Amino acid sequence: MRDILRSVSKLSIPIGLNISLSLIKNKILSVVVGPIGLGIYSQIVNLSGLTYAILPIGSMGLIRYISRYYANERMDEISYILKYFFKRNLFFSIIFSITIILFRDTLSKWLFSGSDFSNLLVLFSIFIPLNLLLNFMDIYLKSIREINAYVLFLSANSLVSLVCNIPLIYFFGVEGAVLALILSVLLNLLTGFVILRRYKMFLNFKSNSVVEDLIIKNIYKIGIVGLVSMGIQNITFLSIRSLLAEKLGLNEVGIFQCVYSLSAGYFGIFFTLMGNYSIPKISSLKNTPEIIYELNSTAKFLLLIYIPLIIFMFVSRSYIIPILYSSDFTSAKYLLIFQLPAELVRAFSWIMGLWLLPNLKIKKWITFEIIFYFSFFCLSYILISFYDMGVKAISISYLCSYILFFFINYFYAAISINFRFSKFNVKFLLISIFFLFLIFFISNADETLGYYIFLPLLTFWAVLLFRKEDIKKIKEILQK
């Protein structure tokens, strides 16, 4: 728990800057182009996520092996695998960009229900190979767990993106947001080289060292499975948004993007923080008891952070949405009663599956992912097409699918590594769920009453669960 808090306290700086960027960017887009423009940009964001899924191939495997090599001071092997995989990924990135340009009209019709925005796809294709190099910098700094350098790198990236996005979105709308992607990557590459030089972390890429064929094979194996997983994720969301555009119009795509950004986007901070800490950490652990302890520590940290945030966001929904977006998005507040609990279940599902990739349980990991996205899309399609539930169908499907996903991951961890939640975590979880649903029920029935009972009930929750040693540890780390 102490290591998590220490790392997260530092990583929270760039994450906070990134939140600011998201808030400002979404606010400007909402005001300048409205729900339709935000819906269009959300499809570009999903396409960007798809490129992250595909490129670089082998990213998760690289993190696993770079973490281990760095712990053993094997820098030449790190140089070899980074150079080996960058060359091959560069080729695929160029092919991907050319494909988007050649089929831009077809892609535009699928993504936006028309070919009017094919020019955005041409701009986006320039972003792909440039972003590849930035991703390799990120993988290297993340894997070696040099937190100070990585925090500086992420903070600089967020600040540069913020400076690029504000004027370009304000003056050029959606086109400006896509241009900002390209300009941000170019400036962030320059920043990355400066940081590597300052911390003397340049690698010797002229080294003749090689690594075993089995290592390369394992990196490819993890990478391809990660590619399939992220590809399925982004294709699923693209398909659901396209379904919404077809059945309900682009306005409803914008409403869904609003609520999805509020939940998955801002609560995705947890996945960024923990991904930067937990995946390299678990990759370095060698026995099962240490893994179980790490999973329980992560679960405890999750509850400390998520419960207050989820409750605050739901109680304040009528104020948060107009402030962060505009009054055109007010109807999104009715989706949060399903969307926010889904984010809590999502985070626990992620924790239960956190150990799979570092331990090369690749087939199980991808199987569970496929089950989730298949159930999410099918349930969304059924509820929209046959039950006329509107955009609410997506949030309900999201919650139900993550509940299924959590139980699959939990039971497999229980069987495979004999995972059990600690007694304290069981108590913490049950009490937290009770308070969560109590406040949700009261606020949903009477929003005004929800404002008054929010702080007293949350204080009571904290008194019941926070121990003196937890407060002492947090205070020590914050003072440092």
What pLDDT is stored for residue 397 in this prediction?
92
Contact 369, 231 (CB under 8 A): no
Give Cα 460 to chain centroid, integer Å: 31
What pLDDT is stored for residue 371 in this prediction?
92
Rounded CA-CA distance 238/111 in Å is: 7
Whether pTM exceeds 0.85? no
In this structure, what DSSP letter does residue 389 have?
A: -
DSSP per-residue letters across 293-313 = HHHHHHHHHHHHHHHHHHHHH
The label of the residue with tokens 């995972």 reads 419
Contact 127, 185 (CB under 8 A): yes
Please report, to the nearest 10 degrees, the dihedral formed by the alpha carbons of residues 329, 332, 336, 337 taken in order.
140
- Residue 92 token pair: 């695929």
Residue-number span of the structural domain to which 184 is assigned: 2-479
What pLDDT is stored for residue 225 in this prediction?
78
The label of the residue with tokens 């039971």 reads 411
Preceding peptide of 56 cis, ω within 30°: yes
CB atoms closer than 10 angstroms to residue 387: 11
Let me know how long the chain is.
480
Please tell me the number of Cα atoms within 13 Å of 450 on its side-chain side. 21
Rounded CA-CA distance 5/301 in Å is: 8
DSSP per-residue letters across 7-21 = HHHHHHHHHHHHHHH
The label of the residue with tokens 């947890």 reads 270
Distances from the Cα of 129 to the Cα of 49, 52, 136, 182, angstroms: 14, 11, 11, 10
Give Cα 284 to chain centroid, integer Å: 22
- Alpha helices by DSSP H, listed for 386-446, are 392-416, 423-445
Rounded CA-CA distance 58/77 in Å is: 16
Nearest to 43 by CA among 128, 113, 94, 130: 113
| Coil vs helix vs strand at 209 | coil
Structural domain count, the chain: 1
Rounded CA-CA distance 388/412 in Å is: 36
| Coil vs helix vs strand at 285 | coil
Distances from the Cα of 139 to the Cα of 13, 166, 181, 197, 344, angstroms: 19, 27, 19, 17, 27
- Residue 439 token pair: 């406040």
The label of the residue with tokens 């495997």 reads 61
Specify the DSSP element, H or E, that contains 63: helix 59-71
Specify the DSSP element, H or E, that contains 357: none
Rounded CA-CA distance 236/425 in Å is: 33
- Residue 251 token pair: 């306005």
DSSP per-residue letters across 69-82 = HHHTT-HHHHHHHH
Give Cα 151 to chain centroid, integer Å: 17
CB atoms closer than 10 angstroms to residue 466: 13
Which residues have CB under 8 Å from 128's CB, separation 6+? 51, 55, 93, 96, 97, 100
Give Cα 184 to chain centroid, integer Å: 19
Which residues have CB under 8 Å from 449's CB, separation 6+? 442, 443
From first to last of the 480 residues of the chain, give the pLDDT tens digit: 566 666 666 666 776 677 677 777 777 777 787 777 777 777 787 778 777 767 888 887 888 788 878 878 888 899 999 999 999 999 989 998 999 999 988 888 877 766 777 888 888 898 999 899 999 998 898 888 777 888 889 888 888 888 888 888 888 888 888 898 899 999 999 999 999 988 888 888 887 778 888 888 888 887 777 777 777 887 888 888 888 878 877 777 778 878 887 777 666 666 665 666 777 677 667 688 888 888 888 888 888 888 888 899 899 888 888 887 777 788 888 888 898 899 889 888 888 888 887 777 888 888 998 899 999 999 999 998 888 788 888 889 999 999 999 999 999 999 988 989 988 889 888 998 899 999 999 999 998 898 888 889 888 888 887 766 666 665 655 555
